[in-house]
Amino acid sequence: MENGSDSRLTECRVGGLIEGLEYQFRVKACNIAGASEASEPTWSAVALDPCDEPTDLSVEDVSTGEVTLSYTAPKYNGGHRLSGYDIEYRKHPGKIWQKSNYTSVQELVYTVKELIDGCTYDFRVIAKNTAGGISKPSVAVVDVEVKEIYIPANVAMDQTLLNGITIRNGQEISLTAKITGKPTPKVTWSHGNDDIKESDFVKVINTHSTTELIIKDSKLKNSGEYTCSVSNHYGTKHIACKVFVLDKPGPVGSIQRQSGRA
């Protein structure tokens, strides 16, 4: 080896390189009689400072054929902007890691799909930067069994909403509730005994974990009790809060003069 030492392995880590410079490498075989001719040189490679590996890899959700993972960005990006992540998985009892994504993942949450129900998997994440630097794999999460998990529907609100809210006429009403359950619950909002329907002034925004009711340009008629109901095949829950809309008093009626002494 040109670095002044011999190796009995078929791989070698070369140190002392200068970041940003291109290098080529070649190998000679040696025995007690001497060294062979050098191999053909490798393609040119730029020396790069590697970025740190992602951290805090965890399983957010497991369902039929899918596992959703979350992770934290590397503390050090290798001096270049991060370009994305590769997510790898390994099916037990195999030893070979396979890449799940076809293009670089930009988010810090990713769902691995097309897994086999009843099988167990390990998962890990690799970070990449714009200079071509690649991190070591993250600490893997292991022994994750793929199966459907059933959770009864549930709903919750902040105590400030449960205590009731008061707003002025014309202000926006915004009510948010947290929802849980698998399969994802169906959500219904009602005002008094009437189900709420969306319009130009009324919107319902649902995500996998929250639901928000927005009423623009509120009126006195929007006062009352609002109920959020959630349901799936395994349960139904309701939660309610009261909204008070205040308005200035209307005009005073006709004034009548009563006779009397000054």
Q: Which pLDDT tens digit goes with each residue over 3-21?
A: 545 667 777 777 677 666 7
Q: For position 260, what pLDDT does the model report?
A: 59
What are the structure tokens assigned to 61, written together? 């959700």
Rounded distance between C-alpha atoms, residue 14 and residue 3, angstroms: 8
What are the φ/ψ torsions at residue 103 (nearest 5 degrees)?
Answer: -120, 160
Domains, in order of start, for the chain: 55-145 (2.60.40.10), 152-246 (2.60.40.10)
Q: Say which range, 43-47, 112-116, 130-134, has the weakest mean pLDDT.
A: 43-47
Of all residues in the chain, the percent with pLDDT exceeding 90 is 64
Q: For position 182, what pLDDT does the model report?
A: 86
Q: Say which range, 9-18, 49-58, 163-172, 227-236, has the weakest mean pLDDT.
A: 9-18
What value does the mean pLDDT of the chain take?
89
* pLDDT tens digit sequence for 230-252: 999 999 999 999 999 998 877 77
Q: For position 5, what pLDDT does the model report?
A: 54
Which residues, 6 or more positions from 164, have their beta carbon under 8 angstroms from its beta carbon?
A: 241, 242, 243, 244
* pLDDT tens digit sequence for 75-96: 988 888 899 999 999 999 999 9
For residue 186, give Cα distances in angstroms to 157, 172, 189, 209, 229: 17, 25, 10, 12, 8
Q: What is the dihedral of CA 36, 40, 46, 50, to 10 degrees?
A: -60
Q: Which residue has tokens 């996998």?
A: 208
Rounded distance between C-alpha atoms, residue 77 and residue 128, angstroms: 8
Of all residues in the chain, the percent with pLDDT exceeding 70 is 92
Residue type, 187: V
Q: For position 2, what pLDDT does the model report?
A: 45
**CA–CA–CA angle 204, 205, 208 (5° rounding):** 130
pTM of the model: 0.55
Residue type, 169: N
